[in-house]
Amino acid sequence: MARSALLNVMVEAARKAARSLTRDFGEVENLQVSVKGPSDFVSAADRKAEQILQQELARVRPGYGFLMEEGGVIEGTDPQHRWIIDPLDGTTNFLHGIPMFSVSIALERQGTIVAGVVYNPAMDELFVAERGGGAFLNDRRLRVSKRSALADCVIGTGIPHLGRGDHPAYLKRLQKVMNEVAGVRRCGSAALDLCWVAAGRFDGFWESDLSPWDIAAGILMIREAGGFVTDLDGRDKMLETGTVVAGNEDIHRRLQAIL
The annotated binding site for Mg(2+) is made up of 69, 86, 88-89, 214
Residue 141: strand, helix, or coil? strand
Cα separation, 190 vs 102, whole angstroms: 9
CA distance 7 to 101: 21
Of 64, 65, 108, 101, the closest CA to residue 86 belongs to 101
What whole-number distance in Å separates Cα of residue 242 and Cα of residue 259?
15
Distance (Å, rounded) from C-alpha 135 to C-alpha 155? 20
How many Å apart are CA 137 and CA 240, to the nearest integer? 27
Rg value, the chain, Cα: 18
SS (H, E, C) 183-218: EEECCCCHHHHHHHHHCCCCCEEEECCCCHHHHHHH
- Sheet order of strands, 183-185 included: 183-185, 154-157, 204-207, 244-247, 228-230
d(CA 198, CA 155): 13
Binding site: residue ranges? Answer: 69, 86, 88-89, 214
